[in-house]
Chain A
């Protein structure tokens, strides 16, 4: 089992709809979880992080964490064509300090 797994997509959503992305992780000791967005040909940029079980909202983005089930989700509300990108889930490896392990990413396509 990979340490961090994501569906590669593409996830195609119509403009204005909700995009739902999932990420599962293997390390039960993981305490923090990150979502990075990467536009084609660009570098990853952090858009959300979450520590506690439950939901965290930031604008049109909501991160959801369920530590018991070892998954973290990202919801994008009112999806816009500018949200078309690859979204990377990242989880620090507990035993290695500040070392992030990235999932393979989910490609999202928002169609006007």
Chain B
């Protein structure tokens, strides 16, 4: 299996622009998570899906952030408009409930820089 795939790996954009991050989870996994990591705040859960349905979006910082999962193999995280404080590494992770432990497999991350 290729693991969790994220694109792009790096994104540099200007304040006010729309940013779309993409994720393909591991086939057969029924949970998908979006995290943000910064030096100041560490690794924060933004939102997670179960069977393509958003379960908890309480970590989404504000209305500028939105996430979708149209099918089991694809999810997007969109920021519109972007701001410099959104600069961070965004990770997507997936897991499969029903295993003895809920191991989450992380993608390589997208490093976002908003100028």
Chain A interface (Cβ < 8 Å from any Cβ of B) = 32, 34, 42-46, 49, 51, 88, 92, 96-105
Cross-chain contact A44 with B45 (CB below 8 angstroms): no
Contact among A32, A34, A102 for B42, CB-based, below 8 A: A102
The complex places the Cα of A44 from the Cα of B91 at a distance, in Å, of 9
Cross-chain contact B104 with A100 (CB below 8 angstroms): yes
User: Which chain B residues (38-74) contact chain A, with CB distance < 8 Å?
Assistant: 42-43, 45, 48, 50, 55-56
Cross-chain contact A43 with B97 (CB below 8 angstroms): no
Chain B interface (Cβ < 8 Å from any Cβ of A) = 31, 42-43, 45, 48, 50, 55-56, 91, 95, 97, 101-104, 106-109
The secondary structure that dominates the B interface is strand
Cross-chain contact B42 with A98 (CB below 8 angstroms): no
Cross-chain contact B106 with A43 (CB below 8 angstroms): yes
Q: What 3 pairs across the A-B complex have the smallest Cβ distances?
A: A43-B106, A102-B43, A104-B42
Nearest Cβ distance between residue B100 and chain A, in whole angstroms? 9
Taking CB atoms, residues of chain A closer than 8 Å to B95 are: 98
Given contacts A34-B103, A43-B106, A100-B102, list 5 more A-B pairs with CB under 8 A.
A44-B91, A45-B106, A98-B50, A100-B104, A104-B42
Nearest Cβ distance between residue A94 and chain B, in whole angstroms? 12
Q: Which of B43, B48, B103 has the most CB of A within 10 A?
A: B43
Taking CB atoms, residues of chain B closer than 8 Å to A44 are: 43, 91, 106
